[in-house]
């Protein structure tokens, strides 16, 4: 492994740098951002470590299991033969042992019979002995009961004796005169001890003696002391003489000899009293018990004899039983031996049987496992390279589109080979990390089956960081939600939240705590800062528990928690600090994925039974294959974890056999199901052409959002449209017919539904894009030719001289035209075109000059060798202005006339397509207002009283929310106007729209909105809502029809309601035409208006009212008042540019004069437009319908060339838009781009001269009173120094940035892009003069200006001044007047300029007064040198050079001019700029009076002006 370490490091570095370059190409080609940071590199390293470890564990474990399984199979096979030999040897031994055991059983049975007889005798004797024993026991018990009566008294007496002390006895002994009780007690004691009393004389009876026991007691009894107590205790109570009992008996009956009485006399005597009484009692009982004792002795003797006989019998029995036991022991040993043999035989047989089961069941796996072990060994070694590529894919490729991912993967595969790193051929993330069972589960949950989506699923499951999914179509969102509902995947469920929800942090906290998944939807361009600890997974230990801080709360971490984020933005630009915290994944749908989805949709609609069966099979197959995998894992696990001899594990063998049986059954079912599934797939494939066409159409419209932010279409909306089309399409008898019908119907259905949401300018673009995409899908479009058509560029171009360059005699081919002819000649189908073009130059001139070149045949062979699309390429090169017409013809040819005739807008049909959950959005343009049409529709629907309208603005959000909530309940309509002005409410508005549910929304409820195109309007509302693009009618005729079809002109009797009806009708028509003309002039760009104004219907309505009123109030038509109201107030109130105001009034003069009151009065030179003599609205409409569909330039006052300008502008706009939808950019790699930046920067740097020496300039041209031009020169030199210094520094910096010497900052990146795309960098524009030239032209122009000023500075003031060379032309003209003012001492305010057009093109000496200037160009006219006046332009010549002019300063009062046109002069062709306090635009230079024999109004309406520079 260490040997490969340097190569791995090289791969890491290359991957990081390569992704950085690809990110630049990603930005250049698709306009998408991806940042490569040091954190990305660290993530690559961490991911590699994780993936390598994981795969090594996985492959190593699997290999070990397979190897153990193989070893067990091989071991089992070797055991079988030994088992068979052992079984053969054991069988005879078992038979012999079995015979011996049976003989022993016979002997044991005989001995058991003898023992049984002996046992009967012993049993009888035992019975007799037991009876005698019971009788003896009864006698003993009876005697004992009698004794038990005396024992309590005896025990009490002994207890009392125990309590006596020697002192107590001595106390009695020493008594002189003992009490009677003491005497009585001593008498009894003496009798008990046979002590005779001393005889004393009886005092009461002289001569007689009385016995004195007390003295005897003192001498013989009490004198014993403590020994007396022992003597009393040991008294032979069983042999008391009868004489003593007789003597003591009287005392027992005496009341004075009771213990209680004696106790009063003496404690010691009390005990002795009790003892005497106890001895007496015991004796009485003994007398009664004695006979019983004798009886007991006799019984005991008899019992002993019986027991002796019993013992003898039992001895005999025991001897017999011992013999039997010995026999049984021998039998058991023999039997155990037999059983052991039998068990060994059975075990051996069982092992053989299990071996057969194991080998039979898993034997088939042996070959496969052997191969797998070998393969896994190689795979284990290849993990070094495989894991490198997978780690790079996970760490870097998430944000990229599929094409970019493929290129990057291929590059890394080549790198692995080049670095000699072990890897699998063709390895990629799917091959290395894909789990087929998991992928099938994902597919069932809604993950598209295309490779890019599967890669996304793998990256999601393997990446360390939480995923942020770019999900414009919402498919990832649905996929994650479905996974979250599957408890096998998300055991604790899923929570769905948004950053806009108030409690989203609380939701996150609970999910982290309880281990739930969280899906954060609708993420914008930034993430909440509170998410940072979670995104960085900043866990810490607290009290032995993993914790994480979210917001202000510290939450215990649960490992089952998962976090997903999705954004609906199709091309979000996340800052680098966001990108490093998440795993950014591009989940935008791919054509393959969408085609599969739509195939499912069409089959569900056409063959629901088949699709249901297909889905069931997919789920069943996935389940069965999962079970197969689990079974194999179980088999290998059990095999690898079994201990001892596997053949002894009966349960294991049975489990393995059962598993293998189940596996075989499932494999058979899977094979059968796959055959069925294949059959179903073959049937489904028949519908693929419809899904393919639908996919093409979706990708034709999905990128329209780059054209206008309001052109948003969700996949959900498109799918619903697809379903609706399938249901509405006509049925057919055959499948082929049905498929053809479906394709044609849905193609037009998409066109109709998308058309209503597009502005007029983009409807032909839609038709063209759909046509091209359809034909490209059919393989009819060459990508190189297509690229040429939209960009004018090809990879290879031929180099030939222009055969008729513009400017040469009879020259007509300009530089752009010839470069494109040479470019297209480099393609396969146009080989020799440029050469042939030069050969047939005259025929091509005729083609060029033709009014409708798109309809005529091409010269030479090209008419037959080129198809219609290739002829469009020729048209682009030679007559770009006719491309719109050519495109229209092409669309008609390929898909039909109806695709260039947008359906009329019907509010009712839009309402029909809507629902209570679908907002209806009016997308407005300048001059449009749907209010009137909407109000009429409300009346038709009888909802006019149930509509609540609200114009949004500051503080109106809560009001709007309240209106919507109420309308949802009562089923009314809400109209929210000017949504583009309520940015703060739009997020809440999006939530409201997403929260509309059928359960709590009235079915009649509708939500209407009006908005101008704006990026703040919620994308989700646009994607799923009904969009209606509202704009004024396009074309004069359509505009006039619209005016006469709307109130008040559409009202019955309105045209007759004025007291002067004829004049009123004519003025109404004239006003309507004037209104239409003002709006249509916008299409001609600066020729029409310097600033495009939003003239709208309200301007015309107020003007109509004024016409009506003025005619009513005046006998004569008050044209002056009307022109003031209409020209200065109604329409003029919108006009901010002074020149536009002049134009407006000139046009108004044509339509508001006495002649328009005459029937047939001409409103155009050709007479196409005249004042009709109609009396009714229907007659007017009939006349209007007869007018040309496309108005000629003459009605606007333009020259015929104006159409060329307009059409070229339209062509350029169309192709620029197509380039945007195609992804734009150069298409080259990032390396090519870096080279291009560096090359261009070095080229420009080499051309830029050194800065002007300002000190020298100040010395040569000091500030002088009499020469103001010196100051002008120095100021200009300083300005150009500022510009060139900035250019030099930035070019050096960007060249260093490309080489990696300095950081490529945002401004430098923009500068590099501009250098590649040939545009003037924004960085330079702040210091530059205004210019619309491409970069090459700008640099050349700059160099010429620098050279002009350098010659002036180094030599002397030039005789003629190139006025375009100045930054600030006004200073130059002021200086010329100031010189005159100071020379003549006239106030400069009283001085003006007199203009003279000079015949010569140059002069050697300056004029004595004023200056000669050159450098202007006429637009819209030309200078007639012969007649010295302004004249009409030559056909197809848009710009001409103005003559050299003499600017003569004179007193204003002395200036005299012949009839002239006051021609405005502008810096650039755009003509617009910031309005200054003078009322002029900053783009405006001055007015030049140009001699003219035609009234000035003619040139004003033509839009004639002079420009100081052109755009090419």
Q: Are 188 and 257 in contact (CB under 8 A)?
A: yes
pLDDT in tens, 632-684: 677 667 666 666 665 566 666 666 666 666 667 777 777 777 787 787 778 88
User: Which residues on neighbouring strands pair with residue 951, listed in sequence order?
Assistant: 977
Question: In the β-sheet with 920-924, what is the strand arrangement from edge to edge?
Answer: 947-951, 973-977, 1006-1011, 920-924, 1026-1030
Alpha helices in 165-266 (DSSP H): 166-173, 180-192, 213-216, 226-233, 242-253, 259-265
pLDDT at 88: 66
The helix (run of H) or strand (run of E) holding residue 296 is helix 267-396
User: Which residues on neighbouring strands pair with residue 483, listed in sequence order?
Assistant: none
* Range list of β-strands (E), 1022-1112: 1026-1030
1148/1078 Cα distance (integer angstroms): 10
pTM beyond 0.95: the answer is no
User: Which single residue is written with the structure tokens 């300009």?
Assistant: 814
Question: Cβ neighbours of residue 1032 under 8 Å, at least 6 residues apart?
Answer: 925, 927, 928, 1039, 1042, 1079, 1096, 1097
Chain-centre distance for alpha carbon 439: 18
pLDDT surpasses 80 at 1296: yes
Q: Which of 62-66, 490-494, 1127-1131 has the lowest mean pLDDT?
A: 62-66
3-state helix, strand, coil in the chain (%, to 5): 65, 10, 25
Q: Are strands 973-977 and 947-951 parallel, antiparallel or unpaired?
A: parallel
pLDDT in tens, 158-180: 777 777 777 778 888 888 788 88
Q: Are 595 and 481 in contact (CB under 8 A)?
A: no
The arithmetic mean of pLDDT across residues 1093-1100, rounded, is 87
813/829 Cα distance (integer angstroms): 22
241/239 Cα distance (integer angstroms): 6
pLDDT at 1068: 95
133/657 Cα distance (integer angstroms): 69
Nearest-10 crossing angle of helices 402-418, 267-396: 90
3-state secondary structure 835-877: HHHHHCHHHHHHHHHCCCHHHCCCCCCHHHHCCHHHHHHHHHH
CB atoms < 10 A from the CB of 522, how many? Answer: 22
Between these two residues, 197 and 1343, which has the higher pLDDT value?
1343
- Give the CA radius of gyration of the chain: 59
813/878 Cα distance (integer angstroms): 8
Query: Given pLDDT bands bounded at 50, 70 and 90, which one contains residue 80?
Result: low
Between these two residues, 245 and 875, which has the higher pLDDT value?
875
Q: What percentage of the chain has pLDDT greater than the value 70?
A: 89
Residue 346: helix, strand or coil by DSSP? Answer: helix
pLDDT at 334: 67
Q: Which two tokens stand for residue 804?
A: 């008729």
Q: Which two tokens stand for residue 682?
A: 């073959």
pLDDT at 959: 94
Between these two residues, 940 and 653, which has the higher pLDDT value?
940
Q: Are strands 539-542 and 545-550 parallel, antiparallel or unpaired?
A: antiparallel
Between these two residues, 800 and 80, which has the higher pLDDT value?
800
706/63 Cα distance (integer angstroms): 53
Question: Cβ neighbours of residue 633 under 8 Å, at least 6 residues apart?
Answer: none
Residue 733 is classified by DSSP as: S
pLDDT at 1228: 41
pLDDT in tens, 1244-1279: 999 999 999 999 999 999 988 888 999 999 999 999
Residue 197 is classified by DSSP as: P
1075/1080 Cα distance (integer angstroms): 9
pLDDT at 1230: 46
Average pLDDT, the chain: 85
User: Ranked by mean pLDDT, which of 75-89, 306-320, 348-362, 770-784 comes out on top?
Assistant: 770-784
Is the four-CA dihedral 931, 937, 941, 942 of positive or negative sign?
Answer: positive
pLDDT in tens, 54-69: 988 888 887 777 677 6
Query: Given pLDDT bands bounded at 50, 70 and 90, which one contains residue 1226?
Result: very low
Q: Which two tokens stand for residue 1028?
A: 């209606």
Q: Are 879 and 821 in contact (CB under 8 A)?
A: no
Query: Given pLDDT bands bounded at 50, 70 and 90, which one contains residue 516?
Result: very high
* Residue 1268, burial from CB neighbour count under 10 angstroms (0-12, 13-18, 19+): buried
pLDDT at 569: 84
- Give backbone dihedrals phi and psi of 710, rounded to 5 degrees, phi first: -85, -10
* Residue 749 Ramachandran class (φ > 0 left, ψ -120 to 50 alpha, else beta): alpha
Between these two residues, 97 and 1101, which has the higher pLDDT value?
1101
The arithmetic mean of pLDDT across residues 836-854, rounded, is 91
Q: Which of 403, 394, 483, 464 is nearest to 433 (CA)?
A: 394
pLDDT at 562: 94
pLDDT surpasses 60 at 572: yes
Q: What percentage of the chain has pLDDT greater than the value 90?
A: 41
Q: Are 651 and 665 in contact (CB under 8 A)?
A: no
Residue 1391: helix, strand or coil by DSSP? Answer: strand
pLDDT at 936: 86
pLDDT surpasses 70 at 356: no
pLDDT in tens, 1420-1433: 999 999 999 999 99
Residue 1162 is classified by DSSP as: B
Q: Is the peptide bond before 1048 cis (omega within 30 degrees of 0)?
A: yes
Biggest alpha carbon–alpha carbon distance for the chain: 213
Q: Are strands 1439-1441 and 1445-1451 parallel, antiparallel or unpaired?
A: unpaired
User: Which single residue is written with the structure tokens 């009562």?
Assistant: 970
pLDDT at 1225: 43
pLDDT in tens, 696-752: 999 999 888 888 888 988 888 899 899 999 999 999 989 999 999 999 999 999 999
pLDDT surpasses 60 at 1231: no
């Amino acid at each position: 492994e260490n040997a490969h370490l340097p190569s791995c490091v090289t791969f890491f570095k290359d991957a990081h740098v390569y992704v950085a370059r690809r990110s630049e190409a990603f930005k250049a080609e698709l306009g998408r951002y991806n940042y490569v940071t040091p954190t990305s590199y660290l993530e690559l390293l961490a991911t590699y470590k994780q993936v390598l470890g994981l795969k090594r564990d996985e492959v190593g474990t699997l290999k070990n299991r397979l190897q153990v399984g193989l070893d067990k199979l091989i071991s089992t096979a070797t055991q079988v033969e030994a088992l068979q030999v052992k079984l053969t040897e054991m069988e005879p031994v078992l038979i012999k042992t079995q015979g011996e055991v049976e003989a022993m059983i016979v002997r044991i049975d005989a001995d058991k019979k003898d023992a049984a007889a002996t046992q009967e005798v012993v049993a009888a004797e035992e019975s007799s002995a037991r009876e005698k024993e019971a009788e003896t026991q009864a006698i003993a018990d009876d005697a004992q009961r009698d004794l038990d009566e005396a024992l309590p008294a005896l025990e009490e007496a002994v207890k009392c004796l125990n309590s006596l002390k020697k002192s107590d006895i001595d106390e009695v002994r020493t008594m002189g005169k003992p009490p009677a009780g003491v005497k009585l007690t001593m008498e009894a004691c003496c009798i008990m001890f046979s002590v005779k009393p001393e005889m004393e004389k009886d005092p009461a009876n002289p001569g007689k003696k009385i016995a004195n026991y007390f003295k005897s007691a003192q001498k013989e009894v009490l004198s014993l002391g403590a020994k007396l107590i022992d003597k009393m205790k040991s008294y032979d109570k069983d042999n008391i003489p009868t004489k003593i009992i007789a003597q003591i008996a009287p005392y027992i009956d005496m009341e004075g000899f009771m213990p209680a009485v004696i106790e009063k006399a003496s404690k010691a005597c009390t005990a002795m009293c009790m003892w005497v009484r106890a001895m007496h009692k015991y004796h009485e009982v003994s007398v009664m018990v004695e006979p019983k004792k004798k009886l007991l002795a006799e019984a005991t003797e008899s019992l002993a004899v019986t027991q002796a006989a019993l013992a003898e019998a039992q001895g005999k029995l025991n001897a017999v039983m011992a013999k039997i036991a010995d026999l049984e022991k021998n039998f058991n040993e023999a039997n155990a031996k037999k059983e052991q043999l039998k068990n060994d035989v059975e075990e051996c047989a069982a092992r053989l049987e299990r071996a057969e089961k194991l080998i039979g069941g898993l034997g088939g796996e042996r070959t496969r496992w052997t191969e797998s072990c070998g393969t896994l060994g190689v795979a284990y070694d290849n993990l070094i390279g495989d894991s490198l590529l997978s780690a790079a894919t996970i760490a870097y490729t998430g944000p990229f589109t599929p094409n970019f991912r493929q290129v990057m993967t291929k590059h890394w595969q080549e790198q692995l080979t080049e670095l000699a790193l072990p890897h699998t051929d063709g390895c990629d993330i799917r091959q290395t990390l894909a789990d087929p069972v998991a992928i099938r589960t994902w597919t069932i949950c809604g993950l598209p089956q295309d490779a890019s989506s599967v890669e996304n699923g793998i990256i999601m499951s393997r990446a360390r960081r939480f995923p942020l999914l770019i999900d414009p179509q919402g498919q990832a969102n649905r996929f994650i939600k479905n996974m979250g509902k599957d408890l096998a995947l998300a055991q604790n469920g899923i929570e769905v939240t948004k950053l806009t929800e108030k409690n989203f942090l609380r939701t996150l906290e609970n999910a982290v705590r309880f281990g739930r998944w969280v899906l954060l939807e609708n993420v914008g361009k930034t993430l909440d800062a509170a998410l940072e600890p979670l995104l960085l997974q900043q866990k810490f230990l607290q009290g032995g528990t993993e914790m994480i801080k979210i917001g202000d709360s510290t939450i215990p971490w649960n490992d089952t928690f998962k976090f997903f984020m999705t954004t609906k933005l199709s091309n979000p630009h996340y800052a680098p600090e966001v990108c490093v915290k998440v795993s950014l994944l591009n989940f935008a749908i791919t054509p393959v994925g969408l085609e599969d989805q739509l195939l499912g949709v069409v089959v569900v609609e056409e063959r629901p039974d088949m699709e249901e069966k297909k889905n069931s099979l997919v789920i069943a197959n996935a389940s069965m294959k999962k079970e197969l995998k689990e079974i194999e894992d179980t088999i290998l696990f059990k095999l690898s974890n079994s201990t001892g001899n596997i053949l002894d594990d009966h349960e294991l063998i049975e489990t393995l056999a059962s598993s293998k049986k189940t596996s075989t059954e499932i494999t058979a079912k899977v094979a059968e199901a796959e055959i069925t599934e294949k059959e179903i797939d073959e049937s489904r494939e028949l519908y693929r052409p419809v899904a393919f066409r639908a996919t093409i159409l979706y990708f034709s419209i999905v990128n329209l959002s780059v054209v206008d932010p309001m052109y948003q279409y969700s996949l959900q909306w498109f799918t619903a449209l697809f379903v609706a089309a399938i249901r509405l399409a006509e049925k057919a008898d055959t499948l082929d017919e049905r498929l053809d019908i479906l394709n044609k119907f849905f193609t037009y259905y998409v066109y109709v539904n998308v058309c209503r949401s597009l502005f007029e300018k983009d409807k032909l673009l839609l038709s063209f894009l759909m046509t091209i995409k359809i034909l490209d899908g059919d393989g009819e479009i060459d990508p190189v030719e297509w690229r040429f058509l939209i960009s004018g560029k090809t990879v290879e171009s031929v180099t030939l001289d222009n055969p008729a360059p513009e400017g040469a005699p009879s020259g007509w081919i300009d530089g752009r035209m010839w470069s494109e002819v040479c470019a297209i000649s480099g393609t396969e189908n146009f080989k020799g075109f440029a050469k042939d073009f030069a050969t047939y130059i005259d025929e091509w001139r005729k083609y060029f000059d033709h009014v409708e070149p798109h309809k005529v045949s091409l010269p030479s062979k090209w008419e037959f060798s080129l198809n219609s699309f290739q002829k469009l390429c020729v048209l682009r090169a030679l007559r770009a202005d006719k491309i719109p017409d050519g495109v229209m013809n092409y669309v008609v040819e390929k898909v039909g006339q109806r695709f260039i005739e947008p359906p009329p807008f019907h509010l009712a049909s839009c309402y029909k397509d809507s629902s209570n959950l679908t907002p209806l959005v009016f997308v407005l343009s300048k001059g449009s207002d749907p209010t009137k049409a909407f109000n009429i529709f409300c009346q038709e629907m009888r909802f006019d009283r149930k509509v609540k309208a609200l114009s949004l603005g500051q503080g109106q959000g809560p009001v709007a929310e309240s209106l919507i909530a109420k309308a949802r309940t009562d089923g009314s309509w809400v109209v929210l106007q000017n949504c583009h002005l309520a940015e703060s409410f739009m997020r809440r508005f999006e939530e409201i729209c997403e929260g509309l549910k059928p359960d709590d929304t009235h079915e009649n409820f509708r939500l209407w909105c009006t908005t101008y195109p704006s990026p703040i309007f919620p994308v989700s509302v646009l994607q799923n809502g009904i969009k209606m693009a509202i704009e004024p009618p396009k074309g004069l005729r359509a505009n006039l029809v619209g005016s006469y079809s709307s109130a008040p002109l559409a009202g019955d009797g309105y045209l007759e309601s004025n007291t002067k009806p004829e004049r009123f009708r004519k003025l109404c028509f004239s006003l309507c035409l004037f209104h239409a003309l003002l709006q249509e002039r916008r299409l001609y760009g600066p020729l029409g208006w310097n600033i495009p104004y939003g003239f709208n219907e309200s301007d015309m309505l107020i003007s109509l009212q004024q016409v009506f009123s003025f005619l009513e109030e005046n006998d004569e038509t008050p044209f002056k008042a009307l022109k003031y109201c209409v020209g200065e107030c109604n329409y003029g109130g919108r006009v901010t540019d002074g020149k536009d105001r002049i134009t407006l009034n000139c046009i108004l003069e044509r339509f508001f004069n006495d002649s328009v009151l005459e029937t047939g009065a001409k409103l155009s030179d050709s007479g196409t437009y005249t004042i009709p003599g109609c009396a009714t609205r229907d007659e007017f409409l009939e006349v209007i319908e007869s007018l040309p569909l496309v108005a000629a330039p003459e009605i606007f006052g333009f020259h015929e060339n104006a159409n060329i300008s307009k059409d070229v502008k339209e062509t350029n706009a169309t192709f620029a838009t197509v380039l945007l939808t195609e992804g734009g950019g150069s298409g080259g790699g990032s390396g090519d781009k870096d080279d291009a930046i560096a090359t261009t920067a070095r080229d420009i740097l080499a051309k830029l001269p050194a800065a002007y020496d300002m000190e020298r300039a100040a010395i040569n041209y000091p500030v002088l009173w009499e020469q103001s031009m010196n100051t002008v020169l120095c100021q200009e030199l300083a300005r150009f120094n500022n510009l060139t210094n900035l250019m030099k520094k930035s070019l050096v910096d960007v060249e260093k940035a490309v080489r990696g010497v300095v950081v490529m900052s945002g401004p430098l990146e923009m500068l590099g892009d501009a250098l590649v795309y040939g545009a003037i960098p924004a960085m330079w524009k702040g210091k530059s003069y205004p210019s619309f030239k491409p970069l090459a032209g700008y640099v050349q122009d700059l160099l010429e200006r620098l050279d002009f000023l350098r010659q002036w500075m180094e030599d002397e003031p030039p005789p003629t001044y190139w006025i375009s060379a100045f930054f600030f032309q006004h200073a130059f003209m002021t200086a010329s007047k100031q010189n005159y003012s100071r020379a003549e001492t006239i106030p400069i305010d009283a001085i003006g300029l007199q203009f003279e057009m000079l015949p010569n093109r140059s002069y050697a000496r300056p004029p004595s007064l004023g200056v000669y200037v050159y450098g202007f160009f006429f637009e819209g006219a030309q200078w007639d040198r012969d007649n010295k006046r302004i004249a009409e332009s030559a056909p197809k010549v848009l710009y001409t050079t103005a003559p050299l002019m003499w600017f003569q300063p004179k007193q204003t009062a002395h200036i005299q001019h012949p009839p002239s046109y006051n021609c405005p002069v502008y810096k650039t062709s755009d003509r617009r700029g910031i309005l200054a306090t003078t009322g002029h635009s900053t783009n405006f230079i001055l007015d030049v009076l140009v001699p003219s024999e035609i009234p000035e109004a003619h040139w004003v309406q033509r839009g004639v002006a002079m420009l100081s520079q052109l755009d090419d």
